Amino acid sequence: MSEFPTRLEVEDLQHNLRKVRDRLVRTDQADELRAELDQLHPADAAYLLEALPLEERLLVWGLVKAEREGEILLELSDAVRESLIATMDSKELVAATETLEADEIADLAPDLPEAVVQDVIRALPHEERVLLRAALSYDEGTVGALMDFDQVAVRKDVTLEAATRYLRALDELPAHTDQLFVVDRGGKLQGVLPLARLIVSDLERMVGDVMAPGSVKLHPEDRAEDAAQTFERYDLVSAPVVDLITGSLVGRVTVNAVMDYIREKSAETQLAEAGLSREEDVFAPVWNSFRNRWAWLAVNLITAFIASRVIGAFEGSIEKLVALAALMPIVAGIGGNSGNQTITMIVRALALGQIQSAYWTKLVIKELGVATLNGVIWGGLLGLATYVLYGSVALGAVMALAMLLNLLLAAGMGVAIPYLRARLGRDPAVGSSVLITACTDSGGFFIFLGLATLFLL
């Protein structure tokens, strides 16, 4: 944490980037560029690589020292990491990976060829190998996957002086060591000893007397999301992870792992809502981008096709009154927008655990209330506009009524879709926007054209 430049800002990095580009043009400066890359923090080097198009990225990657490749790969986004790993042979990959700690290797493992992972496992000392196997065994999205093994443990029955001596022997404490974990002879967690408390306490006292006994504990099987909420709620820097059955200390989670997890989750949600399967390398080849995007476009195509068939069923009515064709997308569009508002709010509240089963009815009533208000106001306005444009009171009335009904449909489905998905144990967020839009499109066309057919023709 010590030797960074004094003021780290996006502009500095962009300045670096420009320098790198200039250097790449004059290849005789490769040595100088290499020296500069050596000085960059791994996260900054990763940032630089992400912001370069593929060709230049590979040129720069070729200048990175072998022993730094591992720590830089760790900091890269998945898509860019893959683009680099694809260019490395097994030997290089093993060399890059070996420099990392067990929990870091486990983070990289899903992107590495199986043979490389096996080679790395074989090359590790026994103790590290046990940790790596443990780290590899945890599913993504669990505390086990967030965990590292850099915890510093001290025994309950020693003096603070002895504990301090032990720490000095370690020379340097691992990053994010804000507290020591206090264990008994069997390795069972007894409590925690914050460094801040260690420093201000009398060194003659026993660890067991100074420690905080009832600290937050996590288990490897806990959901990462719950751990993240715990960190946020109680403003933690680190938390011990203990085995659910034996209660022994197996690792720790630190706030930086939690913060990465939160950013990643929020990026995933944002991308999924726009119909991207995963984070995309901005400079990905066309074909990779296509693969990342086609699935949601295909789903959208199907829902659009269904909506189109609903319209097709009313072709006779449209033929007689062509104004319907121009008006129907408004009804569908506003319904979709309003439904998305409802569903987004409810999905968020569900994720935060704010909706208890007893209150669903209350929610439905509220959402139908908002929809009615919207329907009366916007429906009335549009009905009026329709009357002014087409000179037909009846058409205006059908427009207004269709708006109101489609907004009520949107509100109902906006509550029902996440409710049912949560009930069925699915993630209420995934594809919620596609589902609600499908309902309000087909539903909106059906309601509007149906009402028109009934009352106008």
Q: Restricting to residues 60-79, which ones interact with its own copies according to CB under 8 A? A: none
* Interface residue with its own copies, options 229, 387, 397, 450 (CB under 8 A): 229
CB-based contacts of 379: which residues, under 8 Å, 6+ apart? 399, 400, 401, 402, 403, 404, 407
* Interface residue with its own copies, options 135, 318, 408, 413 (CB under 8 A): 318
> Quick check: 235 binds its own copies (CB under 8 A)?
yes
> Quick check: 344 binds its own copies (CB under 8 A)?
yes
In the region spanning residues 206 to 225, those forming contacts with its own copies, defined by CB under 8 A, are 212, 214-217, 222
* Residue in 212, 216, 251 with CA at minimum distance from that of residue 234: 216
> Quick check: 424 binds its own copies (CB under 8 A)?
no
Cα-Cα-Cα-Cα dihedral of 227, 228, 230, 232, to 10°? 170
> Quick check: 384 binds its own copies (CB under 8 A)?
no
Q: Is 49 exposed, middle or buried (0-12, 13-18, 19+ CB in 10 A)?
A: buried
* Interface residue with its own copies, options 327, 404, 405, 439 (CB under 8 A): 327
Contact of 206 with 183, CB cutoff 8 Å: no
> Quick check: 332 binds its own copies (CB under 8 A)?
yes
The CB-of-332 to its own copies minimum distance in angstroms stands at: 7
Q: Identity (one letter) of the amino acid at 212? A: A
Tell me the β-bridge partners of 240.
252
- Nearer to its own copies by C-beta: 49 or 131? 49
> Quick check: 293 binds its own copies (CB under 8 A)?
yes
DSSP 281-338: -TT--HHHHHHHHHHHHHHHHHHHHHHHHHHHTTHHHHHH-THHHHHHHHHHHHHHHH
Q: How many CB atoms lie within 10 A of CB 154?
A: 22
- Nearer to its own copies by C-beta: 118 or 248? 248
In the region spanning residues 263 to 292, those forming contacts with its own copies, defined by CB under 8 A, are 263, 266-267, 269-271, 273-276, 280, 282-284, 286-287, 289-290
> Quick check: 416 binds its own copies (CB under 8 A)?
no
The CB-of-14 to its own copies minimum distance in angstroms stands at: 7
The CB-of-456 to its own copies minimum distance in angstroms stands at: 16
The CB-of-284 to its own copies minimum distance in angstroms stands at: 8
* Residue in 321, 348, 281 with CA at minimum distance from that of residue 77: 281
- Nearer to its own copies by C-beta: 133 or 278? 278
Which x/- pattern over 159-198 shows residues binding its own copies (rule: CB under 8 A)? Answer: -----x--xx-xxxx-xxxx---------------xxxxx
CB-based contacts of 439: which residues, under 8 Å, 6+ apart? 339, 409, 410, 413, 417
- Nearer to its own copies by C-beta: 20 or 108? 20
> Quick check: 391 binds its own copies (CB under 8 A)?
no
Contact of 130 with 106, CB cutoff 8 Å: no
